[in-house]
Amino acid sequence: MAFSRDTSGSRRELFPEIAPYGSGYLSVGDGHSVYWEQAGNPTGQPALFLHGGPGAGAGSVHRRFFDPRIWRAVLFDQRGAGRSRPLGRLEENSTPHLIADIEALRQHLGIERWLLFGGSWGSTLALAYAQAHPDRVIGCVLRGIFLGRDSEVDWFLHGIRGVFPDAHAQFVGFLPEAERGDILNAYRRRLDDPDPRIHGPAARAWSVYEGSCSTLLPHPDMVSTFSRDRAALGLARIEAHYFAHRLFLPPEGLLGHMDRIRHIPAEIVQGRYDMVCPPVSAFELASHWPAARLTVIPDAGHSALEPGTRAALLAGLDRFAAA
């Protein structure tokens, strides 16, 4: 593991807005169709963007991390998320299903090997996919590491209160007092209810909580984005579903299979003050990954769009492009 502290003060901007040059829906069975798109250079180096959540979906801003002269960027919305159909569907929705979907998409697009780029849950899924298919992975650029462990889920549901007591109070205060002893299942009962009058407010409360804790400094626009009905439902319903099933990961966890990918080069970018996915997970991952380089951003929280994190992610992609 190589380790660096980002002290450059670099504030690189994302690449300009770019439209996809191709998109579509891929039927993956079980009643699910996943939305996919490609942007950049059709003959460039393939890179797969893995969004967070689970359930958050990909957006147009995520295309802008990839230099369109170099990268053939592939983005997709995971089962039940974003533009994939049907929205918020939990049946046949698990980590092994998502890994199989990624493989189906790779084959559908005729890609031999690709770079994985993801943050938060996107880092979890990148690791799970790479461990299942190491021969298909060129390298990884990961941010805001989440390993899906019980301690990390407990931190999200309870521990953040120590840093964001106001946001946590609103999150818990949405529930009747008698149900606050089991936050996860109290929310799940509402999020899984088919009535929009019940699942809608619960989804907004869950998503606003996450958005409120995602940046070092307050960012009202980000909180507003998290609170939009469609985005909130996919994120909250699927995230709670995955949390309740321990992220559908093996009992030994992702660190238990690092031998499969220890040779694959990786750039890990971690905000020092990430309160959604605290830095300890990034340090532990890097300590198990000899080919990884960990960069800690001293003035950042969880979001990929914070200036220091954004710059480090772009620099990580640059290093792979130049390799």
* Given the residues 120, 207, 212, 303, the one annotated as active site: 120
Please say if the pLDDT value at position 226 is more than 90: no
Cβ burial of 26 (10 Å; 0-12, 13-18, 19+) is middle
* Given the residues 6, 32, 302, 303, the one annotated as active site: 302
Please say if the pLDDT value at position 219 is more than 80: no
pLDDT tens digit sequence for 190-213: 999 999 999 999 999 999 999 999
- Nearest partner of 80 among 104, 105, 51, judged by Cα: 51
Q: If pLDDT is split at 50, 70 and 90, which confidence band does 2 have?
A: low
Rounded to an integer, what distance in angstroms lies between the CA atom of residue 202 and that of residue 247? 21
318 catalytic residue (yes or no): no
Domains in the chain, CATH or no CATH each? 2-150+248-322 (3.40.50.1820), 153-244 (no CATH)
User: 30 vs 34, 76, 86, 89, 208, CA distance in Å?
Assistant: 11, 18, 11, 10, 31
pLDDT tens digit sequence for 54-69: 999 999 999 999 999 9
Please say if the pLDDT value at position 232 is more than 50: yes
Which residue, chain included where needed, has tokens 């089991």?
Answer: 182
φ, ψ of residue 223 in degrees (nearest 5) = -60, -40
DSSP state of 288: T
Rounded to an integer, what distance in angstroms lies between the CA atom of residue 189 and that of residue 185? 6
Please say if the pLDDT value at position 314 is more than 80: yes
Provide mean pLDDT across the span 63-91. 97
Rounded to an integer, what distance in angstroms lies between the CA atom of residue 262 and that of residue 248? 22
| Radius of gyration in angstroms for the set of CA atoms belonging to the chain, rounded to a whole number | 18
pTM: 0.96
- Nearest partner of 115 among 96, 142, 82, 143, judged by Cα: 142
Rounded to an integer, what distance in angstroms lies between the CA atom of residue 46 and that of residue 75? 11
Rounded to an integer, what distance in angstroms lies between the CA atom of residue 267 and that of residue 200? 37
DSSP state of 77: P
274 catalytic residue (yes or no): yes
Q: Give the pLDDT score at 92.
A: 98
* Given the residues 6, 214, 274, 281, the one annotated as active site: 274
E strands present in the chain: 2-5, 22-29, 32-40, 45-50, 71-76, 114-120, 137-145, 266-271, 292-297
User: What are 86's two structure tokens?
Assistant: 């049907």
User: What are 256's two structure tokens?
Assistant: 């238990």
Please say if the pLDDT value at position 7 is more than 60: no
120 catalytic residue (yes or no): yes
| DSSP secondary structure of 108-138 | HHT-S-EEEEEEEHHHHHHHHHHHH-GGGEE
Longest dimension (CA), the chain: 58
Q: Are 297 and 304 in contact (CB under 8 A)?
A: no
Kindly report the average pLDDT of the chain as a whole number: 94
